[in-house]
Chain A
């Protein structure tokens, strides 16, 4: 009985880990290409949830709302990149961080202006559960896991099979050589920013049905995304995948065995990695 409960808890952890993966993969992707760490990535996640909510109110179709919302967030990402982020590529890191933090302040208040401060919900989606080892596992957990795996496959195929992916890889491996052989970095910057923002928006929309949309929801996820990327190794997509799953599992199994420690667990994992392997699991030294 005990083992079954643990297995279900592990599945739940894996599903949350997949959510962290979806958001962190976007953050890692844009960071790898532009070398700017985007604090506003959490705000894009929040936008994803709010746009899904508003479009759902119009269409009553969750999947359509989710994808449209993520596409809108991708556009917001592209505009932010062109108008602001593209102006700070050469600046010292603190200025880059602070500028994207300024965006967080602006976006958070925009959400308060347009949607109010009260958390908003949509009717639950993917209700029900199925039995596994004699326990019930909510269906949304399965959706998270499937979506996470699909996104991992899409990223893999994009990077390995398309010209765009090849150029991105060239740019992230050896910037100077890539640029001197005639790559157009502006195009890659804006498209990768769109892609990363799309993933953030998708994460927010996916999380909406099992929670609610609220103005500060982005900050929780961005901290998790930071922990995931530091543990996985900054800029490593593979690392983000592995460490997101680790964090999801640690959190969920921790809640089962040592509930009073739950909030501290991801940070303890972070501290461990920092001491044992400062560059992260897949980070380059």
Chain B
């Protein structure tokens, strides 16, 4: 209860960020909101279904690239690009899910990673359409930076609420059941494959929403968002925040992005420090930040 109030206060406070008039801060906060959605969407598959996807950059960048191509290359309105991007992400997640979901754990991680790196390879090589290494520039500005912040804020909150409803729905419960004991859920007559495919599609679709927002914020797409390090980001952020908690991924993302922003001012070797943090989290804090917070609230 107390943590909910803290959460509300933080969300309410972030409404005032545009009033600082600091463009960089507004930009960074918008980015954080987008990546929060990315991590929460990712965690449907990871935290709730128990499957580690190492390929969510595929859905993120497929949506962003679809938007960029439709808007910049063929002159469609942004809204069309955005909706089409999300649809493409949904289709891709269904396809990858179909190919990978019969596998668990290690296989699943490897297969999702492989397919996302295929997309990265295509983005790098298919210069005529994707712009290769340079990416696509010149996505028009939708609205002033401040308004885009509030727009993102609203979209992310609505999506987060929908995802919350999804993971707390009957489907979400079955998913958690599968995570804990797949055989038992099978015996109770549920097709585990079907439920996992639902999870994958919902997760991929909302990841697509975050990818579209990202393209509109940066007004540029580059292959870095297809790369596997971009798939690893929600994984690491979720582990830092705590996968067993709905807002864990959000907390982890805020810490991740701010830490990255601060650390890269002092050193080029941000990855090195990130790697150390990852190792430390796995060895010593497997519940993540929210795990620690929950323990404190329970008075232990």
Contact = CB atoms under 8 A, between A and B. Distances in A.
Contact of B99 (A97, A227, A275): A275
A264 B122 contact: yes
B282 A91 contact: yes
B282 A102 contact: yes
A226 B283 contact: no
Given A99-B278, A105-B278, A271-B99, A223 B114 contact: yes
A210 to B, nearest CB: 20
B255 interface: no
Nearest to B276: A106
Contacts of A234: 106-107
B279 A102 contact: yes
Interface residues of A, number: 38
Interface stretch (A108-116, A131-139, A161-169, A178-186): A108-116
A263 B110 contact: no
Contacts of A107: 275
Nearest to A270: B114
B113 A223 contact: yes
Residue among B105, B110, B111, B236 with the highest chain A CB neighbour number at 10 A: B110
A19 interface: no
A278 B272 contact: no
B272 A99 contact: no
A98 B235 contact: yes
A270 B103 CA distance: 13
Given A88-B282, A99-B282, A263-B121, A226 B275 contact: no
Interface centre among B106, B236, B276 (most CB of A within 10 A): B106
A114 to B, nearest CB: 11
B239 interface: yes
Nearest to B227: A219
A256 interface: no
A230 interface: yes
Contacts of B283: 84, 87-88, 99
Nearest to A229: B110
Contacts of A219: 228
A118 B139 CA distance: 32
Interface in B104-122: 105-107, 109-111, 113-115, 117-118, 121-122
A194 to B, nearest CB: 21
A122 B121 CA distance: 27
Nearest to B96: A271
Nearest to B279: A102
Interface string B41-59: 0000010000010100000
Interface string B120-133: 01100100000000
B46 A267 contact: no
A84 B281 CA distance: 12
A234 B272 CA distance: 30
Contacts of B268: 112
A103 interface: yes
The B contact surface, by secondary structure, is helix
A97 B103 contact: no
B239 A98 contact: yes
Nearest to B243: A94
A105 B282 CA distance: 14
Interface string A241-285: 000000000000000000000011001001100110010000000
Given A93-B106, A112-B269, A227-B114, A101 B232 contact: yes
A226 B114 contact: yes
Interface in A201-216: none
Given A106-B272, A109-B275, A98 B103 contact: no
A112 B270 CA distance: 12
A87 B286 CA distance: 13
A74 interface: no
B159 interface: no
A12 interface: no
Interface in B1-48: 46
Contacts of B278: 98-99, 101-102, 105
A278 B102 contact: yes
A264 B52 CA distance: 23
B224 interface: no
Pick from A88, A99, A108 the residue with the most CB of B within 10 Å. Answer: A99
A2 to B, nearest CB: 26
Nearest to B116: A223
B192 interface: no
Contacts of A226: 110, 113-114
20 contacts: A94-B52, A94-B109, A95-B282, A95-B286, A98-B235, A98-B236, A98-B282, A99-B283, A102-B278, A103-B275, A105-B272, A105-B274, A105-B275, A106-B272, A107-B275, A227-B114, A234-B106, A274-B99, A274-B100, A275-B99
Given A93-B109, A101-B235, A105-B275, 10 more contacts: A97-B52, A97-B106, A99-B278, A103-B275, A106-B271, A106-B276, A112-B269, A230-B114, A270-B114, A275-B99
